Structure 1
Amino acid sequence: MNPYAAECLGTALLILFGNGVVANVLLNKSKGQHGGWIVITFGWGLGVALAVYAVGRVSGAHINPAVTVALASIGAFDWAQVPGYLFSQMCGAMIGSILVYLTYLAHWKETDAPELKLACHCTAPAIRKTVPAFISEFIGTATLVFLVLALGKVADGAISDQSSWTAAVGTWFGPMLVGILVLAIGLSLGGPTGYAINPARDLGPRIAHAILPIAGKGSSDWAYAWIPVVAPLLGGVAGAKLFVLLAL
């Protein structure tokens, strides 16, 4: 598979599982309604892990523009491929959100609150203050990228030393560790903004929300939309630069 197609597919799977669990918990008359934040964070963590399993061997499974730009900023990824990766991730995010819409087609009319319908596609702050929301997304994404790089180093060690117990990290368990990382970020840092930590994850589905014929959907909240794009991009670069600075 072409790596750009893989990024599109991987991001679509991420959003299908991630926004799918949000819809399952929030939309009226869903079997999972009122499942709560723990269910949502587990859904996102598993979605990330499964997406990485699906396409990691083809594209590296960035499935996140913040990861792509961060890796390029430290010379770990070719800048020439960045535009194609970002475009593919955005397309995949939109496709994933459309699939969530179709999966829960009968439930949009049954749900009265426009903000719940929007939450099934993109994020919004719990307290609408720009600076705290920006800081939250920045820290969450910096943590994500820093620890993804750290896990990558562990995997490199596992591959070079197949007698070690860490060999599993470099083979079948690596993607699951990334999913656990996203789960941990959601549980610990996700409260203020819903932890987008991924520009494509937020912007692609937000565009889908704007164009899809969702009954009673309300505003797509474009005034907030720049924060889960800009803050993760800057936070990702900061996390990568810190990892290099510490020479771990």
Structure 2
Amino acid sequence: MQLGAEFVGTFILIFAATAGPIVNQKYNGAETLIGNAACAGLAVMIIILSTGHISGAHLNPSLTISFAALRHFPWKQVPGYILAQVSGSICASFALKGVFHPYLSGGVTLPSVSTGQAFVLEFIITFNLLFVVTAVATDTRAVGELAGIAVGATVMLNILIAGPSSGGSMNPVRTLGPAVAAGNYHLLWIYLVAPTLGALAGAGIYTLVKLQDNEVDPSRPVIRSFRRNTSMSV
């Protein structure tokens, strides 16, 4: 059940997030950068709201690995989750290839800047994403009820920042599936390594800076929320 939800959630995410750039290419900029960012951000939001209570809506191997490394998620479930995510991404990408062929190249993540710049950008935006995800998923003082909106907005913001430069992937399977379907593996390693390192750093830094229960100042108002275990992402 959890793996099925993770597969379907990743399929929807990759289909939507990749379709935006493809439509943009096919129809001469109809989507624009804001449209591309909205496709990914809105997809993340609706998937978290619909499947977060089933699988946690990871949708991203970097998130799954980071949560396991920080003991928010069992390592024994990591291979199954990653397999579901990779499978969902590849299936969505071949579905897009069938629907939009020959315009799949528009959805392939490629940098327009140097390799080093793309690597740093992907590291930073994934750091941002996992900092937010770790807050809403693991900290009882974060606004967990609005997790879908918070994470979706972070994805949209990151794409607005990095989309024209690195592609704004933040997720190895966002790049892997379209690369397989298009047969274009140019600089694929950036989008496998940088998001994973950025995710580990973002999740780790939030874990370090968050207040423990015995450190809360009772005189300071805090928005309370319920705990969401292992939830959310891109």
1:33 offset after TM fit, Å?
4.0
Please point out which of 120, 138, 143 is paired with 1:135. 120
Please point out which of 157, 173, 176 is paired with 2:149. 176
Q: Does 1:118 align with 2:96?
A: no
| Alignment-mate amino acid for residue 236 of structure 1 | A
1:104 offset after TM fit, Å?
2.2
TM-score, normalising length: structure 1: 0.79
1:241 offset after TM fit, Å?
1.0
| Alignment-mate amino acid for residue 89 of structure 1 | Q
Aligned Cα RMSD in Å?
1.8
Q: Does 1:232 align with 2:195?
A: yes
TM-score, normalising length: structure 2: 0.83
Rounded to whole Å, the distance in 2 between the matches of 1:67 and 1:153 is: 13
1:200 offset after TM fit, Å?
1.0
Please point out which of 36, 41, 56 is paired with 1:40. 36
1:228 offset after TM fit, Å?
0.4
1:119 offset after TM fit, Å?
2.9
Rounded to whole Å, the distance in 1 between the matches of 2:29 and 2:93 is: 19
Deviations 1:61-108 (A, max 9, x none): 000011101111111011111111111100000111122223324xx2
Please point out which of 57, 60, 64 is paired with 1:61. 57
The answer as to whether partners of 2:9 and 2:57 remain within 8 angstroms in 1 is yes
1:153 offset after TM fit, Å?
5.2
Structure 2 residue aligned with 1:50: 46
Secondary structure of 1:77 counterpart: coil
What are the residue-to-residue correspondences of 1:1-40 with 2, within 5 Å?
A: 2-27=1-26, 30=27, 33-40=29-36
Structure 1 residue aligned with 2:229: none
Cα 1:243–1:157 change in 2 (3 A) is: closer
Q: Does 1:148 align with 2:126?
A: no
Moved over 4 A (4+): none
Secondary structure of 1:192 counterpart: coil
Identity between Structure 1 and Structure 2 (%) = 33
| Alignment-mate amino acid for residue 125 of structure 1 | P
Structure 2: stretches of 5+ with no match in the other structure = 212-234
Structure 1: stretches of 5+ with no match in the other structure = 112-116, 159-168, 211-219
Q: Does 1:243 align with 2:229?
A: no
